[in-house]
Structure 1
């Protein structure tokens, strides 16, 4: 059985990443990214799609191609690059999934074991102070690879997370329920309507990830 690890990490505004800067300064979410390595060189070229039509800076070329309202951009990574993707490349770990929102980056990658994962995370922490491990998964996992999606609980506010966690622990989602909305709201010291509002917002955000829809 494989001892590999699937890691999901978030990095707050890595300035060395041109795609993260593009996301922040244009107010777009970027989650369609592909990278190719040029033969005989240590560099790589990354293409990404964004729902904007802008000329950015010298680090990003484009739009290179237009798919109607969505445009393709391109950026290059050389030997002196210090972005998260380049850091993973040094360990022969390609990025499995990439998402940039408001300048913050979420990466999913596969390490071959805990030793490699620890080395990668040590370098991440040295380069990027705002790095956080969101999840670590080891096989076996059920379902096909395309059915396994990343659920970003970082989308929740502290209050939304507290409401969701309390509702779960008190048995709100069980059948029959062990606690109703009024009881949970009293435990949290909020009104029932406020509880319902926070719970609904949290569920919409998480279900948006599960259904791979815009929350």
Structure 2
């Protein structure tokens, strides 16, 4: 079995990431990278790469070129990396390309594959030194069930702290079991909130997660 590890981490407002800053300034979510190409001199390091991405805006932002091309409601932007301060370039210095990322409200969620636990430790040590506001959201090791197409990215960062607390409490109490380990009234009392507030947060949390699982728009 492969010793590789699939990691999902969230970096809060990473300094040196123009795409994360772009998402905050424009109020858009960037989750589709079109391409990353080497510079004209043929270098393959982070200092010579150019990243293209799509965003549902037509605003012009400093440090990002574009709109370069329009696809109806979305536009193509381009950014040339001139240093290794951004999380993606930092990750690339370990030989790990970004498998998927989501930039939203200035925060960056990265999915990458480490070759083994030692490499993961080295990457996370560097991340924590550079970016204090980092959260490891998920670690997976094979074997994973289902095909690659069936394995979807669930952005837990969509949940508010209260929604996460309510969802965790409901799960721990056996709310989703049959028969239920506890009902809404009991869990709400444990959290010191009303039943209606408990239900409101639980439904909101489930809807956000289902959007990713079912790959639907909000």
TM-score, normalization by structure 1: 0.93
1:71 paired to 2:75: yes
- RMSD (Å), alpha carbons: 1.5
Gaps (5+ residues) in structure 1? none
SS of the residue corresponding to residue 150 of structure 1 reads coil
- Pick the aligned partner of 1:119 from 122, 138, 152: 122
Deviation at 1:47, TM superposition (A): 0.4
1:214 paired to 2:205: no
Q: Deviations over 1:93-119 (max 9, x none)?
A: 110001000110000000100111111
Kindly tell me the number of residue pairs found equivalent between the two proteins: 213
**Quick one: distance in 1 between partners of 2:118 and 2:137?**
18
Deviation at 1:181, TM superposition (A): 1.7
- Residue in 2 that maps onto 1:9: 9
Deviation at 1:183, TM superposition (A): 2.2
- Residue in 2 that maps onto 1:199: 202
- Residue in 1 that maps onto 2:49: 44
SS of the residue corresponding to residue 142 of structure 2 reads coil
SS of the residue corresponding to residue 175 of structure 1 reads coil
TM-score, normalization by structure 2: 0.92
SS of the residue corresponding to residue 52 of structure 1 reads coil
Gaps (5+ residues) in structure 2? none
- Residue in 1 that maps onto 2:97: 94
**Quick one: distance in 2 between partners of 1:45 and 1:32?**
14
Q: Deviations over 1:111-168 (max 9, x none)?
A: 1001111111111112111111111111110111122122222222222222212211
**Quick one: distance in 2 between partners of 1:14 and 1:184?**
36
1:60 paired to 2:61: no
Deviation at 1:208, TM superposition (A): 1.6
1:140 paired to 2:143: yes
**Quick one: distance in 1 between partners of 2:199 and 2:146?**
32
- Pick the aligned partner of 2:166 from 146, 155, 163: 163
